Amino acid sequence: MKMSNRISAFQCSPIRRLSPYARDAQNRGIKVFYLNIGQPDINTPPQVLEAVRNYDQTIIAYGNSEGREDLRKALPDYYAKYGLDVRSDELLITTGGSEALQFAFMTLCDPYDEIIIPEPYYTNVSSFAHSAMVNLVPVTSKIEDGFSLPDISEFEKRITRKTGAILVCSPNNPTGYVYTREELLQLLNLAKKYDIFLIVDEVYREFCYDGEEFTSVLAFPEFADRVVCIDSFSKRYSMCGSRIGALVSKNPEVLANVLKLAQARLCPPEIEQVAARAALDTDDLYLKEVKAEYEKRRDFIVAGLQKIEGVVCSVPKGAFYLVAELPVDNAEDFAIFMLKDFSLDGKTVMVAPCEDFYETEGLGRKQVRIAYVLNTEDLAESLKCIEAGLKAYREKVLGELL
Ligand SMILES: Cc1ncc(COP(=O)(O)O)c(C=O)c1O
């Protein structure tokens, strides 16, 4: 029997596809530090767990396709804290930011339309694009420029009649880059000039370092009709497994059409929305402390990586990822070696090879994405493993004399 051509074009996620090697390593008694996935070790706020425990309905019923009213009504106050004016009827609750991205692609693009995106990009976007049969058109951002926005002319050059939208993610996964107000304005002006949409994925909004202010795409009312903002509770409140996100748009036509998809999938998870509503009552101090913790981890891992011979690493300004270029010919081989053939004092690390975070063939082959979601003690152990692992790989696999 034949599978669809569409599914053959999907990738197995570079964040998850090496997991069998990690499981084998664990079965051999090796402790694996998981730097491959953005799963924080930070506790979920207690009132979120309490809300789940206290869920007292006798039937877990279908809810509204738009999301629970209490959650939608509470979100404007959250946005207001950032000076953003968002009404409850300007957002739909989704099953994670992931579903919001899929809804945006399906709503704004026809099959074979194009979305322009800086690469490296959040790799799952590739699968969302394949499901919507949308082609991603990359603009390469470079490690030596700290992965800042490439010149706006590079985006303009790629606009065709098939361009439906530009998609950026800020703070960025995987690079940690945070787009400035001026960069967002350039993108918005370009979107206006060519009458296309700008989708901005802001699921890491809270995590910006070095005292820098975050600028949301929702802060530009004059462009509001062409903006779609992707949001999520996953990382903000360390509740990734709850699968609650939002799609925000001030364009009523966009929302009315997204609602058709939302109705087809019936509703977002009910108990998780109750948990998300409770998350919005989290003391601001929680987010402040979490951000300070990630900033500490960022400083620690960047300093550690920069000391390892041959490693080039971007300094992320936000989120909790970085892209590092390694002194190897193939980072995926190295990542597998670390799990299959290496351990240091019974420990090793799992990293995500970066090639599939790029659309352009051959780019990112020497790069890995590291998620600094573990505490500094674990990061210190991880750094030791990476340093020793690189040496072992270069000697044993590449045959270098070090
Ligand atoms: C940039 C970005 N967008 C969206 C998502 C999806 O998040 P979720 O579906 O858990 O809300 C992630 C998850 O890692 C992400 O990194």
Distance CA 234, CA 43 (A): 12
With contact defined as beta carbons under 8 Å apart, do 327 and 305 qualify?
A: no
For residues 130 and 93, state if they share a domain. Answer: yes
| 97, 217: one domain | yes
* Most distant CA pair in the chain, distance: 68
| Tokens found for residue 195 | 């009458």
Looking at the structure of the chain, the number of domains it has is 2
- The full DSSP string for 347-375 is EEEE-EESGGG-SSTTTTTTEEEEE--S-
* DSSP-based three-state secondary structure for 5: helix
* 8 A C-beta contact, residue 238 and residue 287: no
* CB-based contacts of 128-132 (< 8 A; 24+ apart in sequence): 128/98, 128/101, 128/102, 129/105, 130/6, 130/9, 130/10, 131/6, 131/102, 131/105, 132/102, 132/105, 132/106
Summarize pLDDT for 227-286 with one digit per residue, the tens: 999 999 999 999 999 999 999 999 999 999 999 999 999 999 999 999 999 999 999 999
Q: Are 85 and 222 in the same domain?
A: yes
Q: Give the ranges where 169-218 is alpha helix by DSSP (H).
A: 181-193
Whether residue 356 sits in one domain with residue 244: no
Strand partners, 140: 119
**310: CA distance to ligand 1 center in Å?**
31
Establish whether residue 170 lines the binding site of ligand 1, counting it when its CB lies within 6 angstroms of any ligand atom: no
Whether 318 is in the pocket of ligand 1, judged by its Cβ within 6 Å, is no
96 ligand 1 Cβ < 6 A: yes
Domain annotation covers residue 401: no
Same-domain status, 21 and 79: no
Decide whether any atom of ligand 1 lies within 6 Å of the 122 Cβ.
yes
Task: Give me the half-sphere count of Cα atoms (radius 13 Å) on the Cβ side of residue 300.
Answer: 21
- Which residues constitute the domain of residue 124? 46-279
Predicted confidence (pLDDT) at residue 401 exceeds the cutoff of 80: no
- What does the alpha-carbon distance between residue 68 and residue 172 come to, in Å, rounded to a whole number? 29
The verdict on 199 and 71 lying in the same domain is yes
State the CATH number of the domain containing residue 327.
3.90.1150.10
Residue 355 token pair: 């090639």
Distance between CA 397 and CA 340 in Å, rounded? 13
Contact predicate 210/176, CB 8 Å: no
Same domain, 127 and 250: yes
Residues 316 and 249 reside in one and the same domain: no
Q: Do 233 and 313 lie in a common domain?
A: no
Residue-wise pLDDT tens digits, 204-225: 999 999 998 899 999 999 999 9
CATH number of the CATH domain containing 215: 3.40.640.10
> Rounded to the nearest whole angstrom, what is the distance from the C-alpha of residue 250 to the centroid of ligand 1?
22
pLDDT, one tens digit per residue, over 123-178 is: 999 999 999 999 999 999 999 999 999 999 999 999 999 999 999 999 999 999 99
